[in-house]
A and B are shown apart, each in its own frame.
Chain A
Amino acid sequence: MRRSSFAKKEALRGYLCISPWVFGFVVFALGPMVFSFFISMTRWDMIKPAQFVGLENYARIFADDFRFRQSLWVTARYAALSLPLGMAGSLMLAMLLNMNLRGTRLFRAIFYIPAILPGVAVTMLWLWILKPRDGVLNYLLGFLHISPKPWISDPNWALPSFVIMSLWGIGGGMIIYLAGLQGIPQELYEAAEIDGAGTWARFRRITLPLISPTILFNLVMGIIGSFQVFTASFVMTPNGGPGYSTLFYVLYLYQKAFRYLQMGYASALAWILFIIILGLTLIILRTSNRWVYYESSE
């Protein structure tokens, strides 16, 4: 009896300790989620009362909305370009910074800074860099005898511009890779070197397997992040760009919700995005046992 009452007390204390988080989760995440799921089945402009319409919003999104398809296509292409480039780039940076050279601490800070700068400020900066007539990027390309590109004002160059911008922020992934790389025991490399393994073999056989959990983490976060990309497009091309070439999914969602006040429709869009991201994440997690290596499990 005493034991169980002690256990109860302990449990109570435990719940008490996590209650701020639970409160925050219920009020700021779970509550709005349940609410948004409900309003995704209504017509609601926040002015007149909501009108229950069942699955009509979802039906319209799939059957009768070119901007849904366009925004999904734009976002998928963006993810397919920026994700592999960003992951490879940040891994390369991390490996460079993992070498014990003079000044690496300084460079680590420099490369990480873009990841913590506020998005709007960074975008304004890029707007200036990407100006077609006298922007910095075209100026620099001029030295390489590359003709100036129209960047975001041209439907073919707009999406690549956003990918280039996203690559500037790879410092966030880099820091995580760096942590992974520093967790690899040095003696593995020493042993491999004695056995005659070259640089590539060491990277392929030691580095990659041992940081594969980090790669998995960055991949999942990267997918979530690239499907939710918003700030840059909102600042640079709030209307979605020429020919809707930069109408990202969340930008469209935002337009529907806060510009045209179609909250039900926008909520349905949000839930579809949620299902897409959830699906992709599950596929990756399911297949991860084939390529992710956990030291402790073997």
Chain B
Amino acid sequence: MRLLTAIAIILLVLAVTAGCSHKGDGKVTLILTAWGNEREEKTLRSLIGEFEKNYPNIHVELQIIPHARVFDKLMISTAGGRPPDVSRISSLWFHTCAEKGLFENLDPYIKRDKTFDIHDFYQEAVEGWGKHNGRVYAIPTDIDVYAMYFNRNMFDRAGIPYPNWTWDWNDYLAAARKLTKDTDGDGRTDQWGTSLDQFWQSYIYQNGGSIVSADFKKCTLNEPKAWEALQWMCDLINREHVAPGVEETAQIGARKLFTSGRLGMFISGSWDAELNFKDQIKGFEYDAAPLPKGKMRATFIGGAAYAILSRSKHKREAWELVKWMTGAEYQRRAAVDSQIIPSRKSVAESGAFLKLKKPPNNRAVFLQMIQYGRPLPPVACAQEMNEVIGAELALALLGKESAKTACEKVTPKVNQLLRNSE
């Protein structure tokens, strides 16, 4: 029963801490939670400074939380204490939170506020992680869409043409085979052709498959289009040996392999160039290319948004902050400072993102990939579903079972979740 005691104490502590954050100087304090690296935090702080200058009656307290913890933080603080007023949220768990009623419905605010135009935002983003059950609960601030970075020097050395829009899975695999090498002859591969897309969903989409049925009631992973795609993904590691295995990836990380010049093709988002490549890549040139198409071209699309917590006591002020954080000025700065894809078409097409004088040259490919983006299924149990599938898929990635077996085993489990989803 130690557990129950612990729960009681946690609740008590939350209750106590909830009671001591009021100041009486007529100033409204908004708590804003977000994740971000040092550079992003700097951008955030300077923008918040400007916001506070424009709104002298509002004080914003920024809490930077590691990306993986924000979901837990929002859930637990909403349940047991004082949640933040505004939070940066991720498309990965937006629907789970929205379904639980964590967020304020923003439709009335949008309707009332003539200075705000939701149509300036990419439709893919608003539909993907702004709307839940047809209502707007969050305003997208950036778009995370994946393309393929490649090491130009490595391609030149191997005499392979750079990846382009004509590439399909076979071209991609052929190039990966040529790039995979044991350079020092010790029997262990030390130059890899490629690594896996961090979103296994993309492979399914590229193969014309889906994860759940159109009515979100049934899991469709047991259909050939889905498991064939996942088998193809696992084969890159276990049969073709052109991608580092789970163990190497866990220890060194695919990104590190790419930045140290030991990986030919690396699938990631536009932010990686500024966040990691700028400081870590030395001694070779890289560029970006579209993801190869399978039966069709597709990619995971996701991103971040800003939402007002429904328990906030200062929603009017919170709306001003949300507008600011999703506004053109912020997006321009994020695009210039961190190569983040703006969610506002006006900013994305203004050249702020495209005309940056730094690598990758073909940055436009990210904007071109948006139209092929497929968001995660908007089900309430999205987070739980990903974890359940991930646990089973881990076995297939380790080569312990086929993707077909994994999919057949996990399908009834996901159905269980969809059926019992609270």
Interface residues of A (CB under 8 A from B): 27-29, 31-33, 36, 43, 45-48, 60, 64-67, 131-133, 150, 153-155, 228, 230, 239-244, 247, 250, 253, 257-262, 265, 270, 274
Nearest chain-A residue to B394 (Cβ)? A242
**A29-B422 contact in complex given A65-B416, A242-B394, C-beta closer than 8 Å:** no
Residue among B384, B388, B416, B422 facing the most chain A CB atoms (10 A cut-off): B422
Cβ of B166 within 8 Å of any chain A Cβ, yes or no, is no
Knowing that A29-B5, A32-B4 touch, tell me 4 more A-B residue pairs with CB under 8 angstroms. Answer: A36-B4, A239-B390, A260-B96, A261-B100
Segment touching A, from B220-228, B246-254, B257-265, B364-372: B246-254
* Sample (28) of A-B pairs whose CB atoms are under 8 Å apart: A29-B1, A29-B4, A29-B5, A32-B4, A46-B80, A47-B101, A60-B420, A67-B413, A132-B250, A133-B247, A133-B251, A153-B247, A153-B250, A155-B394, A230-B3, A239-B387, A239-B391, A240-B391, A241-B394, A242-B400, A244-B391, A244-B392, A258-B72, A258-B76, A259-B71, A260-B96, A261-B75, A270-B3
- Do B246 and A153 have beta carbons less than 8 Å apart? yes
- Do A32 and B422 have beta carbons less than 8 Å apart? no
Instruction: Give chain A residues whose Cβ lies under 8 Å from the Cβ of B5.
Output: 28-29, 32
Residues 363-398 of B, flagged 1 when their CB comes within 8 A of A and 0 if not, give 000000000000000000101100110111011001
Instruction: Give chain B residues whose Cβ lies under 8 Å from the Cβ of A239.
Output: 387, 390-391
- Do B100 and A45 have beta carbons less than 8 Å apart? yes
A65 to B388, CA, bound (A): 12
A104 to B186, CA, bound (A): 49
CB distance from A253 to the nearest CB of B (A): 8
B interface, over-half SS: helix
CB distance from A25 to the nearest CB of B (A): 10
- Do B76 and A243 have beta carbons less than 8 Å apart? no
- Do A131 and B251 have beta carbons less than 8 Å apart? yes
Instruction: Give chain B residues whose Cβ lies under 8 Å from the Cβ of A250.
Output: 3
- Do A274 and B394 have beta carbons less than 8 Å apart? no
A274 to B153, CA, bound (A): 62
CB distance from A47 to the nearest CB of B (A): 5
- Report the 8 A-B pairs with minimum CB-CB distance, sorted nearest first: A46-B79, A242-B394, A32-B8, A243-B395, A32-B4, A244-B391, A133-B251, A28-B5
- Do B9 and A47 have beta carbons less than 8 Å apart? no
- Do A242 and B422 have beta carbons less than 8 Å apart? no
**How many residues of chain B get a CB closer than 8 Å to chain A's CBs?**
41
A199 to B387, CA, bound (A): 54
**A32-B247 contact in complex given A243-B395, A259-B75, C-beta closer than 8 Å:** no
Nearest chain-B residue to A263 (Cβ)? B79
Cβ of B78 within 8 Å of any chain A Cβ, yes or no, is yes
Residue among B3, B76, B412 facing the most chain A CB atoms (10 A cut-off): B3
- Do A28 and B422 have beta carbons less than 8 Å apart? no
Cβ of B419 within 8 Å of any chain A Cβ, yes or no, is yes
Instruction: Give chain B residues whose Cβ lies under 8 Å from the Cβ of A67.
Output: 388, 413
**A45-B79 contact in complex given A64-B420, A244-B391, A274-B1, C-beta closer than 8 Å:** yes
B102, B247, B390, B420: the one within 8 Å of A47 (CB):
B102
- Do B398 and A242 have beta carbons less than 8 Å apart? yes
Instruction: Give chain A residues whose Cβ lies under 8 Å from the Cβ of B416.
Output: 64-66
Cβ of B356 within 8 Å of any chain A Cβ, yes or no, is no
Nearest chain-B residue to A257 (Cβ)? B7
- Do A28 and B9 have beta carbons less than 8 Å apart? yes
- Do A32 and B7 have beta carbons less than 8 Å apart? yes
A29, A155, A274: the one within 8 Å of B398 (CB):
A155
Cβ of B2 within 8 Å of any chain A Cβ, yes or no, is yes
- Do A241 and B8 have beta carbons less than 8 Å apart? no
- Do B251 and A228 have beta carbons less than 8 Å apart? no
Instruction: Give chain B residues whose Cβ lies under 8 Å from the Cβ of A247.
Output: 391
CB distance from A132 to the nearest CB of B (A): 5
- Do B422 and A150 have beta carbons less than 8 Å apart? no
A51 to B383, CA, bound (A): 23
